[in-house]
A and B are shown apart, each in its own frame.
Chain A
């Protein structure tokens, strides 16, 4: 039973990371997204985590999971306001692109799946996804978004929010450990 569950969980997380790496698999620095697309990716990536966080605020079964969900809503909303303000200042209109679309549909799938779960199963699925998601977002920040960003202020904003995402990942991993224990 345990082994079967572990196998299923492993398969699920593999599928998730494949889907996420697909979402971010857009080119290298030379043929990566342009600044308008990067702005759109940043806003979409934050929004996806806000949507999941809202669900965790209400459906989380422990105060820690609820608080983490609430923090994700607050933090990613703060980052998005900054990103939107910067885009407006730079007169950049965020441009939809395949990476954003993939992120959006992945986020919708996650919310759909989480909606069917409750109690400990919800907590585990939400936190596992948060760990994988932040890992993939950090990977995209390092390999695609920062190297591709042309505008110095846009690049600086991404560099500046990166440590917060590392913090979210560490926090999510701590939660993941406590849920197992």
Chain B
């Protein structure tokens, strides 16, 4: 009986600590974002149509959102090895990536390797 009470107390304390830690992280991130730039990054759209990335070259800032929208009647991918990989984006669907690592990233569609693009992240 008393052992159970102790266990419950420990679990409750752990849960409380975890909640506080999460709250602190979220608050910290929000403050940091607000202090350095606009609260949310810009959203850019790359249209996949006729098995081409349009625009084929795009420059974004870190934290920006890039949406690849597939208008073809079959799947494509947007893949920069080791940086990002959409996996198959079905016909009519889109995939969103938040730019994290700075640099010029060449990417392609692994299903149609003639489809190439470049995402430059400042």
Contact = CB atoms under 8 A, between A and B. Distances in A.
A174 B111 CA distance: 11
Contacts of A75: 74-75, 111
A158 B113 CA distance: 20
Contact residues of B: prevailing secondary structure: loop
Contact of A167 (B51, B73, B91): B51
Interface in A126-181: 159-161, 163-164, 166-168, 170-171, 174
Interface residues of B, number: 15
Interface string A75-99: 1011101100000000000000000
Contacts, number: 49
A160 B51 CA distance: 8
A174 B113 contact: yes
A39 to B, nearest CB: 16
A74 interface: yes
23 contacts: A74-B75, A75-B74, A75-B111, A77-B74, A78-B91, A81-B73, A82-B73, A160-B50, A161-B51, A163-B50, A163-B51, A163-B114, A163-B115, A164-B112, A166-B51, A166-B112, A167-B51, A167-B109, A167-B111, A167-B114, A170-B112, A170-B114, A171-B112
